[in-house]
Structure 1
Amino acid sequence: MAVDSSIGTPAQLRDPDYTPPLATAVPLGIQHVLAMFVSNITPAIIVAGAAGFGFGTAGVFDLIYMIQMSLLFAGIATLFQTIGAGPIGARLPVVQGTSFAFLPIMIPLVAGKGVDAMAALMGGIIIGGLFHATLGTVIGKIRFALPPLVTGLVVLMIGLALVKVGIQYAAGGVPAMGKPEFGSAQNWFVALVVVAVTLGLKFFTRGMWSVAAVLLGLIVGYLLSMALGMVSFANVGRAAWFTLPNPLHFGLAFDWAAVIGFGLMGVVSAIETVGDVSGITKGGAGREATDREIAGATYADGLGTAVAGVFGGLPNTSFSQNVGLIAMTGVMSRHVVTFGAIFLIVCGLVPKVGAVISTVPIEVLGGGVIVMFGMVAAAGISMLADVKWNRRNMVIFAVALSVGLGLQLVPEALQHLPRTLQILLTTGLLPAAVLAIGLNLILPEELSAEQTEEISGGLSGHHN
């Protein structure tokens, strides 16, 4: 893509340490933030909804606080990456934000348990984040165990685990919330308008209109829901203009399921960050990422998660949509992203911002997440396109997907196991990942035709 030469020479634009003129750098930084804004706050709303607080009046200020922390610690974790300290940080334009990847772990941990469940969640986030940070010392050595077959399957499973949430929200929330209007024509109308506007902007416009399509789709849906009388601003007036984060806001407890789950997902998140850093250096500077950049990014990833957990925030990871934005703008400056991080931090210190976001009807959010979670699954399929689909890889994929998706669909199948194992296995994500990694390391490079004849024979066209 052609880049405006008035903001720097091609060599300058490929230099992470170059700062374009402020008149350009600040809008570009805010553009990076807008590209991830909706995705960054959505996990907090989903976790609160799964726990059963934050909608209506019950626990709404805890939800507002979680939205605040999502913004604040996305900004702080981004500064860990762009500015860095010692070995911490890639010192590249890496945008951090609240991760969707951990939702299949978090939802079963808090389901229906209210605000009280958040203490154990925070304990898991802190320990998991510290473990995640230590992976920076070995991340280069374990990449061999995570080829596209494994990483693509994991990302696909994350998307498949979340599509149910999109449909529930579009219909009006979680059925257990007992809303009689669940699935009404009005709910679906609002959600589908969001989907239609998002797709229209994404594919029929260019520049910022296309990049911020999900955000703009939500704004249109929000205005429509206001016209239909679905929005209440009662809590906005009661929210403060400025508040500092509160250490251990939800308390602190330790649950083995949370600690193990967040630790294992930390490995997945670390690999995702390695891919994003590699994509940034390849797309923005035409080179491979260095070992120091990859290790620094992983340290910052884990540290950002652990610090967020101390203050009641959710796990952080690098945001992939910003990788495409760097390739599109051609601007590799880490200082541009620093301006975006400062914007996020300012928003995170103003509870009224979170209060306004909390007024967005769940049906509007449902339209947005239908698109976002579908895109997560599609990204996994895209990664799987790089796999050499021989018999061995088909068997690995088949077994991991069958077990992972099956346990997710029929959690009762594990009702006699201890609670910790139930939570970890019924996510579907962890058993699929463990099976894929294990089988990929154990099975020989190619299975013989005889070994897979029974599996593939039914599809091969050899019928009597």
Structure 2
Amino acid sequence: MAATSNEKAPQIDLIYKIEDKPSFKDALFAAFQHLLAIFVAIITPPLIIAGALDLDLETTSFLVSMALFASGISTFIQCRRLGPVGAGLLCVQGTSFSFIGPIISAGLVGGLPLIFGCTIVAAPIEMIVSRSFRYLKRIITPLVSGTVVLLIGLSLVKVGIIACGGGHAAMDNGTFGSWQNLSIAALVLIGVLFFNRSGNKYIRMSSIVLGLIVGYILAFILGRVDLSAVQTTDIALWNIPVPFKYGLDLNISSLIAFGLIYLITAIEASGDITANSMISGEPLEGEKYVKRVSGGVLADGFNSLLAGVFNSFPNSIFAQNNGLIQLTGVASRHVGYYIAAMLIILGLFPGIGLIFSVMPDPVLGGATLLMFGTVAAAGIRIIASQEIDRKATMVLAISLSLGLGVELMPDILTNVSPNLKGIFSSGITTGGLAAIISNAVIRSK
């Protein structure tokens, strides 16, 4: 059935559209590139949390494995769409960075049982928001969603720049921003751009992988690839998922903190799904669009609940994969099944993931910097699709000022209570709330 006038889909240059079924070779290749883009992002939150809570190596290893396992299950649900649950797009889910502050605070009070208890009990907040999305369209408008997507991209750019400079380890040893780190990152960035301009669909689809390979080779020549960790690490052959392994506990204060983040995550998810729909050539208005966003946000909350059951942390849709779709021209949701399978395998067999852990930061940074930039560009396109009058300009000014303000000067929250600081230290959270409130107040008629 042709799209109605208010459901007109944008014309996008794609090799494979949402419902297209790539060959096994093409799907596997595209999935592997997505895996490269998300692997480090998935395992980083559990590593940060485990370090802050001083967990032992066995527990840390298990949490990392379960983060991968839960991400695989969540990605499958988003792409497959089970009944009303799922966006039916190539949406990749992984461990959310937004919850790290509240998780650590809860962990210091009640350990892992309190963390997983709050993860499960607070998740329905996002699920409830998803069911009321069609009634919140006057509040969560394309202007709000575009602003959130823009803030997500701009916030992620900082992560990419840090990786290009050598990462936090380079900051500690004084090599951050060295000519070696910058040369590796620049070569990867240039390589991705070069291969992405190819008229050959296989070269274009493999642009991220080829760029990473070129960077890896240079890093190896410069002696920046350390394989000692792979040779000396003693890990189990496999990890078996055990529901509620650490038990459950609840605390009202922690539950409120988790609930607020779930609310913001719903806004982020709606923005990510909007960007994904646009990049994939799908409508940004009408019943089909509302159904996709509602189902995607519902899955976002349900998958976080499921992650808590399997001893993992809240999940959210990864914005960086939207950038990868745009770069590769592959939007087929069937590729998501391959990504899900890879993540589940990595979760069950932790040894397979070791090769990713030795990837030098500048190699990954060179590729992710470009992807994060495309996410920000997608936000700009969503905003530009709307009429930017005086009121809309005021909403943008307030949202971007507050959101970027806390990102650029986090010390502004030094004297704020730890719970509030954990919530508003994220530019996405602050800017997203500012966008919702200012849009509702300033643009109300």
The TM-score, its normalising length taken from structure 1, stands at 0.74
Alpha-carbon deviation of 1:420? Answer: 1.2
Cα deviation per residue 1:45-75 (whole Å; 9 max; x = unaligned)? 5436766959xxx988777656644543332
Alpha-carbon deviation of 1:357? Answer: 0.7
2:322 corresponds to which residue? 320
Which residue identity is paired with 1:244?
Answer: I
Question: Equivalent residue of 1:316, what SS?
Answer: strand
Structure 1 window deviating more from structure 2 (393-402 vs 299-308): it is 299-308
Which residue identity is paired with 1:243?
Answer: N
Counterparts of 1:41 and 1:273, CA distance in 2? 19
**Closer, same or farther in 2 for the Cα pair 1:182/1:110, shift >3 Å?**
farther
Larger radius of gyration: 1
Cα deviation per residue 1:408-448 (whole Å; 9 max; x = unaligned)? 322333333221112222222222222221222222469xx
2:202 corresponds to which residue? 208
Structure 1 window deviating more from structure 2 (243-252 vs 395-404): it is 243-252
Contact 2:130 2:298 in 1 (8 A): yes
**Closer, same or farther in 2 for the Cα pair 1:336/1:299, shift >3 Å?**
same
1:455 corresponds to which residue? none
Question: Equivalent residue of 2:354, what SS?
Answer: helix
Counterparts of 1:330 and 1:421, CA distance in 2? 38
Counterparts of 1:221 and 1:146, CA distance in 2? 41
Which residue identity is paired with 2:93?
Answer: G
Counterparts of 1:213 and 1:144, CA distance in 2? 40
Does residue 224 of the first structure (1) align with residue 222 of the second (2)? no
Alpha-carbon deviation of 1:186? Answer: 1.5
Alpha-carbon deviation of 1:248? Answer: 6.2
Contact 1:274 1:294 in 2 (8 A): yes
- How do 1:31-50 residues align onto structure 2 when only pairs under 5 Å count? 31-47=29-45
1:439 corresponds to which residue? 438
Does residue 97 of the first structure (1) align with residue 93 of the second (2)? yes
Cα deviation per residue 1:378-426 (whole Å; 9 max; x = unaligned)? 2222222112121111111112211222233223333332211122222
Query: Could you tell me the percent identity over the aligned residues?
Result: 27
Question: Equivalent residue of 1:389, what SS?
Answer: coil
2:28 corresponds to which residue? 30
- How do 1:300-379 residues align onto structure 2 when only pairs under 5 Å count? 300-309=299-308, 310-313=310-313, 315-317=315-317, 319-320=321-322, 337-379=336-378
Contact 1:119 1:251 in 2 (8 A): yes
- How do 1:153-232 residues align onto structure 2 when only pairs under 5 Å count? 153-174=147-168, 178-232=172-226
2:124 corresponds to which residue? 130
State the Cα RMSD in Å: 4.1
Which residue identity is paired with 1:38?
Answer: L
Counterparts of 1:366 and 1:81, CA distance in 2? 27
The TM-score, its normalising length taken from structure 2, stands at 0.77
Counterparts of 1:416 and 1:240, CA distance in 2? 44
Question: How many pairs does the alignment contain?
Answer: 417
Contact 1:128 1:266 in 2 (8 A): no
Gaps of 5+ in 2: 1-15
Counterparts of 1:159 and 1:273, CA distance in 2? 10
Question: Equivalent residue of 2:167, what SS?
Answer: coil
- How do 1:408-427 residues align onto structure 2 when only pairs under 5 Å count? 408-427=407-426
Counterparts of 1:364 and 1:385, CA distance in 2? 33
Counterparts of 1:135 and 1:83, CA distance in 2? 21
**Closer, same or farther in 2 for the Cα pair 1:63/1:216, shift >3 Å?**
farther
Contact 2:27 2:335 in 1 (8 A): yes
Question: Equivalent residue of 1:146, what SS?
Answer: coil
1:460 corresponds to which residue? none
Counterparts of 1:160 and 1:149, CA distance in 2? 16
Contact 1:172 1:183 in 2 (8 A): yes
Question: Equivalent residue of 1:174, what SS?
Answer: helix
Question: Equivalent residue of 2:224, what SS?
Answer: coil
1:451 corresponds to which residue? none
Question: Equivalent residue of 2:138, what SS?
Answer: helix
2:9 corresponds to which residue? none
Contact 1:190 1:224 in 2 (8 A): yes
Cα deviation per residue 1:113-142 (whole Å; 9 max; x = unaligned)? 99x998876566445543222333222222
Contact 1:125 1:262 in 2 (8 A): no
Alpha-carbon deviation of 1:351? Answer: 1.2
Structure 1 window deviating more from structure 2 (420-429 vs 168-177): it is 168-177
Which residue identity is paired with 1:96?
Answer: V
Counterparts of 1:104 and 1:441, CA distance in 2? 24
**Closer, same or farther in 2 for the Cα pair 1:434/1:339, shift >3 Å?**
closer
Gaps of 5+ in 1: 1-12, 447-464
